[in-house]
Homo-oligomer: A and B are copies of this chain.
Amino acid sequence: MSEKLTILAPGTVANMVCGFDVLGFALEDPCDEIDIALIPEKRIIIQPDPVYHLPTEPEKNVAGAALLAMLDAMDEPIGFDIAIRKHIKPGSGIGSSAASAAGAVVAANHLLHHRFSKEELVQFAMFGEKVASGVKHADNIAPCIYGGITLIRSIFPLDVVALPAPNLHVTIVHPQIEVRTADARAILKQNVLLKDAIKQWGNIAGLVAGIIQNDLPLIGRSLQDHIIEPVRSILIPGFDEIKQRSMAAGALGGGISGSGPSVFMLSADKATALAVEKEMQAVFARIGIDHHTYVTTINPQGVKLKS
């Protein structure tokens, strides 16, 4: 039995346009790296993080809280010692906390010979999200663990539907501004117009059909959000221009990643994804906001062992 290993836990995009709160996907890059070792007592040890100085008390650490939930489901004198090298910046809107929480439980499950199902791992990792944001949500956790694109059909009871990963290229820009998840939630209206909701469920239905049937034009036509984006995009300077210029450069569509501030665009090929990156960089350079960009693909596998 291997008692020690390293995994790569990918960033994820939640709130995939018309799939607010239900559709997300995993990224090939960036990934957090997590070293994990089995220890012979029922406790969790978190090694100090030299860059972000994240809490080392397990119950205050997203990975720690997820692993504690896992230990609660076992009746043995074993625990885990983990060290996380974060490459996904906290607060970027591409699932930084989910990567640590999901990565930790998947890594632990490897050491346990896959005792727990993916759905159980999602349940454990959601305790990490609760530490991060106060809410047990799975929209980043699920794609991080399953890979590809995932649908959370229902959260209580949890029903994760794994969809295939179409061969799409992803461009992400992370402007260095802060959008607090709590603010992004507070700005939403509790009521929506029925006619807008109908457009939204027509689009998510088209998006899911396009994803499963690998119909890129249908995916493009369906990437419309009539409810959340018009409200939340005002928190992201340059959003409308980013979107217009990305579409003009050939992107299929895209929107806010999670609750922002990152913005993602999907393209059919790498050349287009790189052209979109240039447009994003130009917009934020002109506005004068520091930013990072990523050009990557959809990760079909989710968390994986580092080879």
Contact = CB atoms under 8 A, between A and B. Distances in A.
Contact of A194 (B192, B203, B207): B192
Given A18-B201, A200-B201, A194 B227 contact: yes
B199 A201 contact: no
Copies in the complex: 2
Contacts of A222: 153
Contacts of A199: 154
Contacts of A21: 198, 202
Contacts of A200: 197, 201
How many chain A residues sit at the interface, stated as a range, is 35 or more
> Which residue, of A189, A208, A218, has the highest number of chain B Cβ atoms within 10 A?
A208
Interface of A: 18-23, 151-154, 159, 161, 163, 188-195, 197-209, 212-213, 218, 221-222, 227
B151 A206 contact: yes
B206 A205 contact: no
A54 to B, nearest CB: 30
> Which residue, of A152, A189, A204, A205, has the highest number of chain B Cβ atoms within 10 A?
A205
A106 B200 CA distance: 31
B191 A194 contact: yes
B189 A194 contact: yes
Contacts of A209: 151, 161, 163, 208, 212
A162 to B, nearest CB: 9
> Which residue, of A23, A153, A161, has the highest number of chain B Cβ atoms within 10 A?
A153
